[in-house]
Amino acid sequence: MPNITLPDGSNRSFVDPVSVAEIAQSIGPGLAKAALAGRVDGELVDTSYRVADDAEVAIVTDRDADGVEVLRHSCAHLMAQAVQRLYPKAQVTIGPVIENGFFYDFAYERPFTPEDLEAIEKTMEEIVKEDLNVERSVLARQDAIAMFKDMGEDYKVEIIKGIPGEEDLSFYRQGEFIDLCRGPHVPSTGKFKAFKLTAVAGAYWRGDSSNEMLQRVYGTAWPSRKDLKLYLQMLEEAEKRDHRKLGKQLGLFHFQEEAPGMAFWHPKGWTLYRSIQDYMKRVLDRNDYQEIHTPQLVDYSLWEKSGHAAKFAEEMFSVESDNRMYAIKPMNCPCHIQVYNQGLKSYRDLPLRFAEFGSCHRYEPSGSMHGLMRVRSFVQDDGHIFCTEEQIQSEVAEFMELLFAVYRDFGFDEVILRLSTRPEKRVGSDALWDDAEQALKDALIATGLPWELVPGEGAFYGPKIEYSLKDCMGRIQQCGTIQVDFFLPERLGAHYVAEDSSRKTPVMLHRAILGSFERFIGVLIEHYGGAMPSWLAPQQAVILNITDKQSQYCRKLEESLKNKGFRASADLRNEKIGFKIREHTLQKIPYLLVVGDKEVEAGTVAVRTRGGEDLGTMTFDDFCNHLSQDVARFGRSDDSLATTN
């Protein structure tokens, strides 16, 4: 006689074991129709699940994040069914839920085409109309293997053989289609309201490139057509904001065959780059970092000593000269330790913070390069803090505060925190790891913000926190990091004299706020859609004359703006004002100053923004004040002061 407690705290008693669907029905027919799954004592189950004992039960619908996941997972099954109807020879493999959608990998004799996708989508619609029941069943392993062998589904057989344990396996059947699956799934194929197949691509069986290539079909599914439309619009918007496209359109940088993965920065792009570097330099100066600069080429033996050669030899560029092997530095840490090692350090010197805008080169696999986001030549806003174990936590906490402030200046308010802990292959004692992980954890807890634990993802030399920011499209971009390192200082012979005159090895904290300037600029371009806030805009204002008569006055304004430290120019070309406005608006210059006879006479400028807003006519001084304030605000969404002000 189960007594069911619902999320609102109310109770319902049933005489016999009762299914989730029946509970939903007892609450109301609307809910019964909307029910996609249930949650029984916290566990997600099918609506057909029977509750026999007292339990807390919630009905899961598509208003629930879990409900949408179930919907997407089931949609992957729907797609697999459609594929096998159309292409009976296609074998199914795996079909999980991913962010915003799902995919399913098929083994098929040829790649699917966009036309195939359309046909699959159509068949999916038909199966939705058929409203087939989705039924769960349980099979013993041997029976399951026999069944899939019989069906010619070799991959499924392999999957089952790979599942540890001895317990029976669950299956889901809808019409003629049956799939091995943990579930849960929607009760019937009539529940799908909005889905779309978005892409097809090759993917390797079990992610290993020595295995057969499968056909992966990506799809997205949403509770409503409206949600789907919004999502597709977001994808379109993301494409428009692609930094590679905008980089070309705005004349910021380019890539060419002769230097794959290495950007050629153009005047405007480099101005942006320098603005960010100058800003970061001010930030570091104010936070007791000492800037250093270390060589590009370092004898290969140093990388052998540091252990990088053993692990990353293939990803390092090397140069031979005079019978000596050098590596182009792939990272700055070993060099920073060389600087640290000059002269005997005392515990009184710690923490010692070195910073370098370190230019690094890594031979990234050709297929992994992506615009500015993944390059072979990049500059890190790198820094290394040498400190004692006791100082780790306070250093990390201080760093985090700085990082948040910097991100806010760039217009990012939401930061995602992840703690990666000890991996299987690692150096150092467990006690040491315990302390370091605890220090990072404490620093995270002290922020009062939510954070995620990623077990086993730390570097081999120590745990780390990674900082990702959410851009305006909701995409998560990993930028900053702080990593505890017990290993490298010892390996490269760093030490300090402790209070008791003994020699001790310092802990090294690797840290970066932006990550790399290249990547961060890529993120910024996409976040702002190329319309950089005034403090970063390569050009902040342009002065436009209406006829030649105003040229003299415009030149004077240009000079005056430049003298005040603004980035401005005058466009005196013999073109119509509408033409010039269009051009500079497309170049996303924040302020367009129009000057005709009226303005010359009154000593004013007519101000228009790149957004098309008319700020009216104002005196030149008023405009300068306006621009100054705009610049001082940085990218902050509120009016609080920027970090370096």
Partner RNA sequence: GACUUUGUAGCUCAGUAGGGUAGAGCAGCAGACUAGUAAUCUGUAGGUCGGCGGUUCAAUUCCGUCCUAAGUCUCCA
* 576 lies in the site for RNA, by CB under 7 A: yes
- Residue with token string 């799954």: 37
* 213 lies in the site for RNA, by CB under 7 A: yes
* 483 lies in the site for RNA, by CB under 7 A: yes
333 has catalytic annotation: yes
**String of DSSP letters for 195-238:** EEEEEEEEEEGGG-TTSPEEEEEEEEEESSHHHHHHHHHHHHHH
Query: To 10 degrees, the CA torsion angle through 97, 99, 101, 104?
Result: -40
**Min separation Cβ 328 and RNA, Å:** 10
- Residue with token string 């780790």: 392
Describe the crossing of helices 620-632 and 551-563 by its angle, rounded to 10 degrees: 40
Binding mask 345-374 for RNA (x = CB under 7 A): -----------------xxxxxxxxxx--x
- Per-residue CA distances from 90 to 47, 70, 427 (Å): 30, 24, 46
**Min separation Cβ 436 and RNA, Å:** 16
**Min separation Cβ 272 and RNA, Å:** 19
* 424 lies in the site for RNA, by CB under 7 A: no
Q: Which stretch binds RNA (CB under 7 A): 114-122, 329-337, 434-442, 621-629?
A: 329-337
* 586 lies in the site for RNA, by CB under 7 A: yes
* 256 lies in the site for RNA, by CB under 7 A: yes
Vertex 556 angle, CA 551 and 561, to 5°: 125
* 598 lies in the site for RNA, by CB under 7 A: yes
Choosing from 50, 173, 244, 491, the residue that interacts with RNA (CB under 7 A) is 244
* 216 lies in the site for RNA, by CB under 7 A: yes
**Min separation Cβ 493 and RNA, Å:** 18
510 has catalytic annotation: yes
Vertex 335 angle, CA 334 and 340, to 5°: 95
Output 90 or 134, the one with its CB closest to RNA.
90
* Token pair in block for residue 451: 């954070």
Output 45 or 570, the one with its CB closest to RNA.
570
Output 4 or 543, the one with its CB closest to RNA.
543
Query: To 10 degrees, the CA torsion angle through 61, 65, 70, 73?
Result: 150
* 622 lies in the site for RNA, by CB under 7 A: no
* 280 lies in the site for RNA, by CB under 7 A: no
Catalytic residue among 243, 464, 584, 636: 464
DSSP 344: -
Cβ–Cβ under 8 Å, residues 76 and 103: yes
Output 284 or 459, the one with its CB closest to RNA.
459
* 316 lies in the site for RNA, by CB under 7 A: yes
Output 125 or 364, the one with its CB closest to RNA.
364
384 has catalytic annotation: yes
Size of the site for RNA (CB under 7 A): 66
Cβ–Cβ under 8 Å, residues 86 and 120: yes
**Min separation Cβ 528 and RNA, Å:** 15
Output 103 or 192, the one with its CB closest to RNA.
103
**Min separation Cβ 332 and RNA, Å:** 9
* 268 lies in the site for RNA, by CB under 7 A: no
**Min separation Cβ 66 and RNA, Å:** 23
Contacts for 45-48: CB closer than 8 Å, 24+ residues apart: 45/20, 45/183, 45/184, 46/20, 46/134, 46/136, 46/183, 46/184, 46/185, 46/187, 47/19, 47/20, 47/21, 47/187, 48/19, 48/20, 48/21, 48/135, 48/136, 48/187
Catalytic residue among 91, 174, 380, 483: 380
Q: Which stretch binds RNA (CB under 7 A): 54-62, 170-178, 350-358, 608-616?
A: 608-616
Cβ–Cβ under 8 Å, residues 286 and 644: yes
Characterize the bridge pairing of strands 324-328 and 464-470. unpaired
Choosing from 99, 291, 414, 597, the residue that interacts with RNA (CB under 7 A) is 597
* 39 lies in the site for RNA, by CB under 7 A: no
Q: Which stretch binds RNA (CB under 7 A): 137-145, 346-354, 393-401, 587-595?
A: 587-595
For the beta carbon of residue 441, count every other beta carbon within 10 angstroms.
18
**Min separation Cβ 255 and RNA, Å:** 5
* 482 lies in the site for RNA, by CB under 7 A: no
Cβ–Cβ under 8 Å, residues 303 and 333: no
Output 33 or 549, the one with its CB closest to RNA.
549
Mark 360-390 as b/e (b = at least 16 C-beta within 10 Å): bbbbbeeeebebbbbbbbbbbbbbbbbbbbe
Output 113 or 290, the one with its CB closest to RNA.
113
How far apart (Å, rounded) are the C-alpha atoms in residues 127 and 255? 47
Output 11 or 366, the one with its CB closest to RNA.
366
How far apart (Å, rounded) are the C-alpha atoms in residues 170 and 182? 6
Catalytic residue among 73, 336, 362, 408: 362
Catalytic residue among 510, 527, 584, 636: 510
185 has catalytic annotation: no
* Token pair in block for residue 319: 């140069």
Cβ–Cβ under 8 Å, residues 100 and 231: yes
* 581 lies in the site for RNA, by CB under 7 A: yes
* 248 lies in the site for RNA, by CB under 7 A: yes
**Min separation Cβ 554 and RNA, Å:** 12
**String of DSSP letters for 459-522:** BTTB-EEEEEEE-TTS-EEEEEEEEEESSHHHHTT--EE-TTS-EEPPEEEEEEEEEEHHHHHH
Catalytic residue among 39, 268, 329, 384: 384
**Min separation Cβ 207 and RNA, Å:** 3
Which is nearest to 59 in space by CA: 187, 167, 236? 187
Q: Which stretch binds RNA (CB under 7 A): 39-47, 206-214, 440-448, 497-505?
A: 206-214
How far apart (Å, rounded) are the C-alpha atoms in residues 19 and 48? 5
Site for RNA in 437-466 (CB under 7 A): 459
* 575 lies in the site for RNA, by CB under 7 A: yes
Choosing from 330, 522, 538, 590, the residue that interacts with RNA (CB under 7 A) is 330
Output 259 or 344, the one with its CB closest to RNA.
259
**Min separation Cβ 366 and RNA, Å:** 3
Instruction: Give the contacts of 329 (CB within 8 A, at least 6 positions apart).
Output: 294, 295, 296, 297, 298, 335, 358, 359, 360, 361
Instruction: Give the contacts of 309 (CB within 8 A, at least 6 positions apart).
Output: 300, 303, 316, 327
* 202 lies in the site for RNA, by CB under 7 A: yes
Q: Catalytic residues, which ones? A: 333, 362, 380, 382, 384, 464, 510
Residues found near RNA in the complex (CB under 7 A): 111, 199, 201-204, 207-209, 213, 216, 244, 248, 255-257, 260-261, 308, 311-312, 315-316, 330-331, 333, 362-371, 374, 459, 483, 510, 546-549, 574-579, 581-582, 585-586, 592, 594-599, 606, 608, 610, 612, 614
